[in-house]
């Protein structure tokens, strides 16, 4: 079978690595990098660390408004698919690269397989939510990470071609956890001890584009009473500079450049708590057994909240501070995201579909 895999952003590189490793044992995979994340710290370092094959196509789309970026990707991906004539197109997650890949394939009548299908935050103001919904409804094969995702699809009338396989991020973490402990020196470089710091990521427009929200978040971090390690996304750094907040960063907040996967994995694994507005980091925090404080009003990973390991606080300083000082998990971890064999199950399902109509 010939597959085209579409990736473009940091979370997709991480998810793609174990899937690609498994697919290439039996199938031909053409890897397409849209260029949505394009600098070394957000792109190349992940290919290097995770041993992802060099992309067969790098479309170099870069940044832009959602419409312009998605439109540019759509045309460029269409050209690739016309040239390669794949049997299936694989898309990941909920970015503009995901939607563009799904639309390009669907319009050419190439079956679409969506990895991480069925997630819902039920907030259509989030561009990721729009991307998820449209991608799922354009897909023929839907690989769900959780039972909740399967139920979400059924509620929208999608029952054909749906497969509960577990979460490929669990596969990636299992494969790389020991490697990160062996190779990463991030704690030593930053000067923190295990369990003695908070790890923070902020990148969503609802926080970065709001002076009020980002100021409240930094205020809460400044009152944390312990070191805070803050790898700053390029978008976030831009707005921190524009608001004049970089030079007024609280003394306990250590602003560093974006991290590769192995460094980030080790940083998260040994944090006392993680504060984030990232969907993927919420899930990784749960898998690592680290309490998570989510700087949003909603989440697509509702299971982590229901399990008592994640709390939604939005961007209010008082609520963030209260969670930093008092939030702790209410129960023991459960096996929410599978057994780390999602990639094997995905490969087996795709192999079984050869010569048969999807679903």
**Catalytic center residues:** 203
Strand partners, 30: 4
Supply the DSSP string of 258-323, one letter for each residue: ---HHHHHHHHHT-SEEEES-HHHHHHHHHHT--EEESSS--S-HHHHHTTSEEE-TT-HHHHHHH
* Contact criterion met (CB below 8 Å) for 227 and 198: yes
Reduce the DSSP state of residue 89 to 3 states and report it.
strand
d(CA 269, CA 316): 26
d(CA 179, CA 60): 30
Closest CA to 129 of 163, 152, 101: 152
**Count of CB atoms within 10 A of residue 82's CB?**
11
* Residue 73: CA count within 13 A, CB half-sphere: 29
Residue whose entry in the numeric block shows the structure tokens 């602003």 = 255
Residues whose CB falls within 8 Å of the CB of residue 154, separated by 6 or more in sequence, listed in order: 162
d(CA 135, CA 129): 10
């Amino acid at each position: 079978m010939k597959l085209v895999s579409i990736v473009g952003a940091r979370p997709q590189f991480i998810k793609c690595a174990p899937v690609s490793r498994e697919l290439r044992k039996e199938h031909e995979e053409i890897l397409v990098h849209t260029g949505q994340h394009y600098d070394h710290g957000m792109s190349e370092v992940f290919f290097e660390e995770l041993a992802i094959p060099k992309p067969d196509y790098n479309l170099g789309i870069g940044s832009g408004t959602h419409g312009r970026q998605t439109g540019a990707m759509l045309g460029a991906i269409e050209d690739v698919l016309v040239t390669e004539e794949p049997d299936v197109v694989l898309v990941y997650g909920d970015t503009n690269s995901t939607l563009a890949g799904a639309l390009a394939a669907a319009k050419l009548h190439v079956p679409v397989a969506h990895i991480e299908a069925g997630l819902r935050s039920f907030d259509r103001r989030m561009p990721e939510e729009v991307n998820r919904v449209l991608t799922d409804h354009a897909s023929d094969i839907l690989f769900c990470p959780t039972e909740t995702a399967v139920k979400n699809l059924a509620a929208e009338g999608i029952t054909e071609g749906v497969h509960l396989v577990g979460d490929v991020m669990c596969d990636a973490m299992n494969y790389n956890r020991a490697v990160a402990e062996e190779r990463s020196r991030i704690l030593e470089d930053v000067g923190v001890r295990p369990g003695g710091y908070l790890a923070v990521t902020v990148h969503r427009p609802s926080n970065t584009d709001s002076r009020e929200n980002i100021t409240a978040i930094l205020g809460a971090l400044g009152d944390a009473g312990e070191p805070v390690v803050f790898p700053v996304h390029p978008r976030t750094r831009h707005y921190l500079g524009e608001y004049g907040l970089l030079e007024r960063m609280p003394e306990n907040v250590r602003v560093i450049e974006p991290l590769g996967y192995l460094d980030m994995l080790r940083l998260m694994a040994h944090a006392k708590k993680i504060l984030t507005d990232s969907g993927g980091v919420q899930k990784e925090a749960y898998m690592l057994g680290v309490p998570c404080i989510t700087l949003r009003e909603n989440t697509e990973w509702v299971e982590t909240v229901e399990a008592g390991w994640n709390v939604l606080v939005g961007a209010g300083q008082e609520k963030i501070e209260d969670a930093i000082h008092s939030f702790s998990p209410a129960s023991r971890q459960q096996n929410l995201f599978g057994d780390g064999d999602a990639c094997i199950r995905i490969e087996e399902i795709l192999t079984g579909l050869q010569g048969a109509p999807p679903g």
